A and B are shown apart, each in its own frame.
Chain A
Amino acid sequence: MTKLPILPTAIVGSYAMPPWLERLKGDYFARRISGRDLDEIYDTSVKAAIKDQETAGIDIVTDGEVRRDNMVDYFVERFPGIQIDRSSKKFYYDFYDSAIRNKLPMASLGLVPDFSFLRSFTDRAVKFCVTGPHCLTKRINNQFYPTEEAFAMDIARLMNLELKALVKAGAEIIQIDEPYYSGFPEDLAWGVNVINTLVEGVDANISVHICYGNRYGKPSWEGSYRYLFPTILGAKVHQLTLEFARRGGEDLDLFKEFDAPFDLGLGVIDVKTEDVESPELVATHIRKALEVMPAERISILTDCGCFHLPRDVAFAKMKAMVEGTRIVRKELGA
């Protein structure tokens, strides 16, 4: 495992998606540029996202998810047996209308090359993010399985093989994104079972990211993380990554109340506003978290992906996050 400093910093997954990339993807769909050109554009964009994270001082780097139109279609297009209505997508960020009409066949999703590309362009620790089965079942029209849970369980079995392939390729930190729990808290019990199937035998540091939605940079739901407890305690993962910057830190007490066995991925940057936080504000968020959990069990993150932020804003927010973390590290004598 790559050695990390105390309070390691990372973005949740996606980095700022440049408008020109959105336009170029549109050009690809309109046959104005070739697939080869698009691949090169993606590669270059990933390198730029990595460089920005490194320059900002981020400890755990992602590929910025710049190859993904959104968190769903990147996977839906790779699943065997899922039928996609290509005409259903008018805008880059839209979700395809997709459906499952037969049992999901087991096959590779082909994520390893994207991970390997990330691995080869940075010496820092890297994180690879995947969208969780619960979220995917909410976007794919299920016309075969008797229940969403059954469908999600098959997705988990398939993705379990993929996660193992990622680990074999060198992945040490994997994040599972499940933003729809907050909109469908009644699904949580089976959602946790599905997560456990997904991560079974996967030898990596696994975190689950749960937020309140981030479509077009806007929250989808309101409420408290209290709905997660105690059910989430059954999840066999190492870390819960939650948003606290936008919503305030009240729910931090839940970790104390339930003596949660997880490490905490602490969201300290609000990605739904372009106002850049001060390092001192970031430090304040971290100090509050330290009241409920020791520094050794806390990672410092953005609330969610930076997908919808302008690049300069996302960069400034990352820098503030890093500088705020350094303030607290210094206070801790680390």
Chain B
Amino acid sequence: MTNLPHGFQEQLTSAVSTALERMAFMVGEPTEEVSGAVHHSSCIALKVDDVPYRVCVRATDGALQELLNGLIDTETFDDAEAQLAANELANVLGGEVLRLLGGDRLPSKLGLPEEGATTGGAAETVRCVLDFLGETLEVSVGVIGGRA
């Protein structure tokens, strides 16, 4: 039995695209794979109706730079700021995924972002990758365990 609704991949892509456009005026195109080195990632745990999930974000430095530029109007950033940007994105997208999974009306809980965690070992994973003129960002949602 799946714990992710039918059409979730499309819903995820749409939610991520909308969130990035609202947060940082970033307009991306769906693509297949992350291109370029990834130095920063962040995950957030959430639970909807007692099913635990994990939402993870991996992004190239250029994608995080664009995010920071849109959020706080800065052209330069250090590693710590890039990680904070990844954490904030995981936080916002965790909230969006929680809502997609019905957490607005069902019992739900959103955790705090954690640097470097992954959806590895998840029973079921859905991902989307967006391209921003050669810089990429991946969001994956994993069902950790779930209902049998």
A, B: real partners: no
